[in-house]
Amino acid sequence: MININEEVKKLLNSIGPGRMSSTAYDTAWVARLGEVDKSLSNHAMEWLAENQLPDGSWGAKDVFYYHDRVISTLVAMIALTERGRRAHDKVQIEKGLEALDRITSGATQGLASDPNGATVGFEMIAPTLVAEAEKLGIIKQQGERILGRLSKMREQKLRKLAGRKINRYVTPAFSAEMAGVDGQQMLDVENLQEANGSVGHSPSATAYYVLRVKQGDAKGIEYIKNSLGADGGAPDLYPFDVYERAWVLWNLSLSDFFEGEHRALIDPFLKYLETAWKPGQGIGFSVDYSVPDGDDTIITSELLKKFGYKADLSTVLSFEESDYFRCYQLEVGISPSVNIHALMVLSAFGYPIDHPSVRKVFKFLDAQKLDDFWIDKWNASNFYTSAHYVIACAKFKNAVAQSTVNWILKNQRQDGSWGTFGSTAEETAYCLQALSIWSKHVNKVPSESIQKGRKWLLEHYTLPYSPIWIGKGLYSAELVSRSAVLSAMLLTDSY
């Protein structure tokens, strides 16, 4: 039988720079480093050899996301073509080509097939990779199919830059590899690297930098070495120490775990977040990352307020636009989840439901609603954003989310679980969080639904968790996912 309190303590003791599953996309970029670090490259090549999917593609296992599969398969085949010398490599390339042809045969539909939208930077990176793959003779006619209407989306992003060069203070640095060989005039090279040697805290962008911009840069190579997981693969993002701390604490704080004897356990993490906070700017996903974001700023502010630390609402409000709250300065698509989290922090600071900022967010979310649920650019699950909406409305004692509660109940699987691509512990946890909080604070939920969900979760709570988070590839933020699962167990303990 699981001892939930002990599991929570074990989780808190595991918090550090951030633990994330490896992605094929970032690992393939590391595999391309044969010219500058053969050992790193060879290790990554082995990872690619072991992680080609049964259909010949690369990308998230068990979750088919068009953009993830296309970009991961493209760069993996480029790496294998540049470095592969074994007969096995050639077989993998052939299988990859067949997979890419199948995946992109309906590319116009494919580009629109992921309702949450493209992976991060896809419209900027894909054209560069297509050009490289064509030059290497890997693809011939697929390029046109893959790109589709991307040129318009790319132009829209470039207009946001408004002629500014890409440096560490703007989010396009995370996708700096889009500059390729011929577009490096876009980069402010001397101001591109972060203090930790990375470009945008991205292993793939940093691999591009040490391969094509400042070849063999020692700080960049050291960063890549530090970012690699135990399996030799590279993550989408590293480090993300603020993101991991803030979201682990937020999930667990939905329960009463930190009240009473466990209160002291949370203080070291809150002090870390308080120290990382920059008045007037907020906080980014890491203390070393130069770009603050609305989501981590909002959640951190809510946590600091809840546990009696100095909380700065004026900085949160600096992310407020005329119709919504933004996540990043130059973003094109607006995130419903960031706005849902904005509702939570406004409630925490005592804003009433009829306050103009609160009404504005509800109006924006109403326009983004699909039937009775939401999708989001940061998470591929239909349940993540929708469950958080239920929790936000519960904070206002606002029954407007009842239709979403009913939608969650209607989409519970026969075995008690939930999942967009198949049953997952993380999505089941989100739904149980929402239902238990709604049942306690607004309207009663049938206890048998919560009991069935809890029973399933207790049988399926262990790693690995499905890669449903959206970066340049799909990934799992392992401790964040686990915190949601343990939070759901704590919240449903009395059922």
CATH number, residue 82 = 1.50.10.160
Question: Looking at 178, 197, 215, which one is the last position of a domain?
Answer: 215
**Is there a contact between 61 and 69 (Cβ–Cβ < 8 Å)?**
no
pLDDT, average across residues 386-390 = 97
- Please write down the HEC assignment for all residues of the chain: CCCHHHHHHHHHHHCCCCCECECHHHHHHHHCHHHCCHHHHHHHHHHHHHCCCCCCCCCCCCCCCHHHHHHHHHHHHHHHHHHCCCHHHHHHHHHHHHHHHHHHCCHHHHHCCCCCCCCCCHHHHHHHHHHHHHHCCCCCCHHHHHHCCHHHHHHHHHHHHCCCCECCCCHHHHHHHHHCCCCHHHECHHHCCCCCCCECCEHHHHHHHHHHHCCCCHHHHHHHHHHCCCCCCCECCCCCHHHHHHHHHHHHHCCCCCCHHHHHHHHHHHHHHHHHCECCCECCCCCCCCCCCHHHHHHHHHHHHHCCCCCCHHHHHCCECCCCECCCCCCCCCCHHHHHHHHHHHHHCCCCCCCHHHHHHHHHHHHHCECCECCCCCECCHHHHHHHHHHHHHHCCCHHHHHHHHHHHHCCCCCCCCCCCCCCHHHHHHHHHHHHHHHHHCCCCCHHHHHHHHHHHHHCCCCCCCCCEECCCEECEHHHHHHHHHHHHHHCCCC
Whether 224 is in a domain gets the answer no
Which pLDDT score is estimated for 237? 97
Alpha-carbon distances of 314 from 32, 165, 317, 345, 404, rounded to whole Å: 45, 29, 5, 12, 31
Q: What is the mean pLDDT of residues 264-289?
A: 96
**Contact call for residues 9 and 2 (beta carbons, < 8 A):** no
171, pLDDT greater than 80: yes
Flag whether 479 is in a domain.
Answer: yes
Residue 447 lies in a domain: yes
299 lies in which domain range? 241-491
Minimum mean pLDDT among 17-21, 156-160, 291-295, 424-428: which range?
156-160
Domain identity same for 203 and 249: no
Q: What is the pLDDT of residues 32-72, one digit of tens each?
A: 999 999 999 999 999 999 999 999 999 998 888 989 999 99
In terms of domains, do 79 and 113 share one?
yes
The pLDDT assigned to 485 comes to 97
Same domain, yes or no: 283 and 163: no
Q: What is residue 231's predicted lDDT score, i.e. its pLDDT?
A: 86
Read off the pTM: 0.94
pLDDT on residue 111: 56
Instruction: Tell me: pLDDT of 91 over 90.
Output: no
Span 97-114, average pLDDT: 71
What is the CB neighbour count within 10 angstroms for residue 384? Answer: 25
User: What pLDDT does residue 306 have?
Assistant: 96
In a shared domain, residues 302 and 401: yes
Structural domain includes residue 19: no
Instruction: Please say if the pLDDT value at position 336 is more than 90.
Output: yes
* Tokens coding 323: 């119709």
Confidence of residue 164 (pLDDT cuts 50, 70, 90): confident
Handedness of CA 104, 106, 108, 112 (dihedral sign): negative
329 and 203 fall within a common domain: no
Q: How confident is the model at residue 292 (pLDDT cuts 50, 70, 90)?
A: very high
Q: Looking at the predicted structure, is the pLDDT value of residue 451 above 60?
A: yes
Q: What angle do CA 432, 435, 437 make, to 5 degrees?
A: 105
Residue in the block written with tokens 């560069």: 128
Residue 474 inside a domain? The answer is yes
Is the domain of 201 the same as that of 287? no
Sign of CA pseudo-dihedral 283, 286, 292, 297: negative
Q: Are residues 137 and 246 in the same domain?
A: no
Measure the CA–CA gap between 183 and 177, rounded to whole angstroms: 9
Q: Which residues pair with 20 in a beta bridge?
A: 477
Cβ burial, residue 460 (10 Å; 0-12/13-18/19+): middle
Q: What is the CA radius of gyration of the chain?
A: 22
Q: What is the pLDDT of residues 279-289, one digit of tens each?
A: 999 999 999 99
Return the higher-pLDDT residue of 454 and 399: 454
Q: How confident is the model at residue 140 (pLDDT cuts 50, 70, 90)?
A: confident
Total tally of structural domains belonging to the chain: 2
Task: Output the CA torsion sign for 166, 301, 260, 4.
Answer: negative
* Mean pLDDT, rounded, of the chain: 92
Q: What is the pLDDT of residue 144?
A: 65
Task: Please name every residue paired with 282 in a beta bridge, in sequence order, or none if there are none.
Answer: 278
**Which residues on neighbouring strands pair with residue 475, listed in sequence order?**
469
Domain co-membership, 337 together with 299: yes
The answer to the question of residue 222 being in a domain is no
202 has which bridge partners? Answer: 199
Nearest-5° angle of CA 78, CA 377, CA 287? Answer: 85
Distance CA 361, CA 343 (A): 7
- Weakest mean pLDDT among 8-17, 47-56, 86-95, 393-402: 86-95
Let me know whether 250 and 210 are in one domain: no
Position 83 pLDDT exceeds 90: no
CATH of the domain at 454: 1.50.10.20
Residues 344, 465: one domain? yes
The reported pLDDT for the residue numbered 291 is 96
250 and 347, same domain (yes or no):
yes
Q: Does residue 308 or residue 399 have the better pLDDT?
A: 308
Residue 278's pLDDT band (cuts 50, 70, 90):
very high
In a domain, 453, yes or no: yes
Flag whether 463 is in a domain.
Answer: yes
Are 211 and 259 within one domain?
A: no
Neighbours of 349 (CB within 10 A): 13
pLDDT band at 158 (very low <50, low <70, confident <90, very high): low
How confident is residue 352, by pLDDT bands cut at 50, 70 and 90? very high
